[in-house]
């Protein structure tokens, strides 16, 4: 079963059960300035959950394009390392706006997985929020789940929220056991971080609206919001472990391998390229352009990471935009807007690559020299800052390289160097240009301006979080 067939199967299943099939919304949320990107299927329905908007239906289903590369949900650092994370993915979801609640949501999910897809129940593992006795009773007493494949979990994993504010609630998650030959323990166990048990579907029972001060206000009507990664369920349906082995990704990985002149496709940089072309192309198609702040800076960071991985594979010419064609071939039917934007996407990626290529090579050589002379496992903050300031290496890009060498960047030192630079600029501004204002990027990335410093500070904070 191809990914496309699976998408249709899911939407048809819920359509037959009274759900309106709603098209994916763009990656830039139309109704929420607090959210960087659409990161879940529920985003376009946020106001419906909050009771602020009425639609002509109380049940919906969608296949929503999502990006998780910034903000509350950020999986950028996982790409290339886990079998299940992408920066861009499609989230299949069914929604109830004050219509059905826990019982039907659980039953539909179980019927789709075991009935329609025919997955063996003994391969599935269920978790519930530890205080949600109602959901636990439905699973154990009504569905008849084996208590040995069932766990109760606290807030961290089983209380879902879109962002710091907005609709949220307890959830129940369904995992697939890919087999004992893969490392990793069941959900809730100390070694759950492996990729043996992969979360495929999250059912959120939307009950609250969280305000900025953390207060939870009950929603007008309890609702349901579910999300299942298309790529993850495709891996299960196609009998492969990693998302990168499904039909769609095999083609993209193969295309990247051809550009790199490689016959062996088992290479994490190829997987990174296959992942990054999807987020970059869809972001540009949805109107984001590389820049030094906000969404545009996230896009720039992803593009530059992709180009660096190409460099690592030995590619020395402008190449990344060439992956747009195979991507359109794979996904154009489901997303005609991507095909419509193809020429723009290629042009934008190409331009960004040409700009960065000028400094990447020099920056890499400088870094290699530094690495040779390095004692210990920490890349000094001054070096990280030099790469950032002079060669346009976003700090997460340097961190990505460091990780490959078993090293870590000195982020505190980086911040200190950045602060010193800010001080110099402030002092200089008394005499000349006011650098506290937005500064345009110069083509050589010699001076990347200050508007993105806040973004980098966030990235640094995130990296410090130990991801």
Write down the least CB distance from residue 395 to Mg ion, Å.
22
Write down the least CB distance from residue 92 to ligand ATP, Å.
8
Q: Which of residues 14-73 bind ligand ATP (CB under 6 A)?
A: 68
Does the footprint of Mg ion cover residue 199 (CB under 5 A)? Answer: yes
Q: Which of residues 232-261 bind ligand ATP (CB under 6 A)?
A: 232
Distance CA 210, CA 217 (A): 6
Q: Which is nearer to Mg ion, 199 or 231 (CB)?
A: 199
Q: Which of residues 424-463 bind ligand ATP (CB under 6 A)?
A: none
Does the footprint of ligand ATP cover residue 84 (CB under 6 A)? Answer: yes
User: Which does residue 305 bind out of Mg ion, ligand ATP, none, counting CB within 5 to 8 angstroms by kind?
Assistant: none
Write down the least CB distance from residue 126 to ligand ATP, Å.
13
Q: Residue 319 — φ and ψ, nearest 5°?
A: -135, -30
Q: Which is nearer to Mg ion, 199 or 346 (CB)?
A: 199
Q: Which is nearer to ligand ATP, 65 or 452 (CB)?
A: 65
Choices 200-208, 290-298, 340-348, 423-431 (CB under 5 A): range interacting with Mg ion: 200-208
Considering only residues 77, 225, 231, 410, which one is a binding residue for ligand ATP as defined by CB under 6 A? 231
Does the footprint of ligand ATP cover residue 89 (CB under 6 A)? Answer: yes
Distance CA 100, CA 59 (A): 8
Does the footprint of ligand ATP cover residue 91 (CB under 6 A)? Answer: yes
Residues in contact with ligand ATP, counted by CB under 6 A, come to a total of: 16
Measuring CA to CA, which residue among 277, 360, 344, 347 is closest to residue 312? Answer: 360
Choices 202-210, 233-241, 311-319, 416-424 (CB under 5 A): range interacting with Mg ion: 202-210
**Given the structure tokens 């919304």, which residue do they identify?**
25
Which residue has the closest beta carbon to ligand ATP? Answer: 229
Q: Which tokens hold the place of 127? A: 């978790």
Q: Which tokens hold the place of 2? A: 């191809």
Write down the least CB distance from residue 226 to ligand ATP, Å.
8
Choices 123-131, 138-146, 222-230, 293-301 (CB under 6 A): range interacting with ligand ATP: 222-230
Q: Which is nearer to ligand ATP, 34 or 369 (CB)?
A: 34
Does the footprint of ligand ATP cover residue 229 (CB under 6 A)? Answer: yes
Q: Which is nearer to ligand ATP, 262 or 270 (CB)?
A: 270
Considering only residues 75, 286, 353, 456, which one is a binding residue for ligand ATP as defined by CB under 6 A? 75
Does the footprint of ligand ATP cover residue 278 (CB under 6 A)? Answer: no
Choices 92-100, 108-116, 141-149, 197-205 (CB under 5 A): range interacting with Mg ion: 197-205
Does the footprint of Mg ion cover residue 202 (CB under 5 A)? Answer: yes
Distance CA 94, CA 389 (A): 46
User: Which does residue 68 bind out of Mg ion, ligand ATP, none, counting CB within 5 to 8 angstroms by kind?
Assistant: ligand ATP
Q: Which residues bind ligand ATP (CB under 6 A)?
A: 68, 75, 84-86, 89, 91, 199-202, 227-229, 231-232
Q: Which residues bind Mg ion (CB under 5 A)?
A: 199, 202
């Amino acid at each position: 079963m191809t990914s496309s067939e699976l998408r249709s199967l899911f939407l048809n299943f819920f359509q037959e059960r009274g759900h309106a099939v709603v098209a994916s919304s763009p990656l830039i949320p139309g109704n929420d300035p607090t959210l960087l990107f659409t990161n879940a299927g529920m985003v376009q329905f946020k106001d419906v959950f909050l009771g602020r908007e009425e639609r002509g239906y109380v049940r919906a289903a969608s296949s929503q394009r999502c990006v998780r590369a910034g903000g509350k949900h950020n999986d950028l650092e996982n790409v290339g390392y886990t079998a299940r994370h992408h920066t861009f993915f499609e989230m299949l979801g069914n929604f109830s706006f004050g219509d059905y609640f826990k019982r039907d949501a659980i039953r539909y999910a179980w019927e789709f997985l075991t009935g329609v897809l025919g997955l063996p129940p003994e391969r599935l593992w269920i978790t519930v929020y530890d205080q949600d006795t109602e959901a636990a009773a439905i699973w154990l007493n009504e569905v008849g789940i084996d208590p040995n494949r069932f766990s109760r979990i606290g807030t961290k994993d089983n209380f879902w929220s879109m962002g710091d504010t907005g609709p949220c609630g307890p959830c129940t998650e369904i995992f697939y056991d890919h087999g004992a030959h893969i490392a990793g323990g069941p959900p809730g166990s100390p070694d759950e971080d492996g990729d043996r048990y992969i979360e495929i579907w999250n059912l959120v029972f939307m009950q609250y609206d969280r305000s900025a001060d953390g207060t939870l206000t009950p929603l007008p009507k309890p609702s349901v919001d579910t999300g299942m990664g298309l790529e993850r369920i495709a891996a299960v349906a196609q009998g492969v472990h990693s998302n990168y082995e499904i039909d769609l990704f095999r083609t993209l990985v193969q295309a990247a391998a051809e550009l790199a002149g490689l016959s062996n496709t088992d290479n994490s940089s190829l997987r990174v390229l296959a992942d990054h072309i999807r987020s970059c192309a869809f972001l540009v198609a949805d109107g984001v352009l590389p820049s030094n702040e906000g969404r545009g800076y996230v896009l720039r960071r992803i593009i530059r990471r992709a180009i660096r991985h190409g460099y690592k594979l030995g590619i020395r010419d402008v190449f990344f935009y060439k992956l747009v064609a195979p991507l359109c071939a794979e996904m154009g039917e489901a997303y005609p807007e991507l095909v419509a934007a193809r020429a723009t996407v290629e042009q934008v990626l190409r331009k960004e690559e040409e700009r960065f290529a000028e400094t990447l090579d020099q920056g890499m050589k400088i870094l290699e020299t530094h690495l040779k002379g390095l004692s210990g496992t920490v890349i000094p903050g001054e070096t990280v800052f030099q790469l950032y300031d002079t060669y346009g290496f976003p700090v997460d890009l340097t961190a990505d390289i460091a990780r490959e060498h078993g090293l870590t960047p000195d982020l505190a030192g980086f911040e200190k160097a950045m602060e010193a630079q800010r001080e110099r600029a402030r002092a200089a501004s008394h005499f000349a240009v006011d650098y506290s204002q937005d500064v345009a990027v110069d083509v050589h990335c010699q001076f990347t301006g200050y508007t993105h410093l806040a973004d980098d500070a966030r990235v640094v904070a995130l990296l410090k979080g130990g991801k």
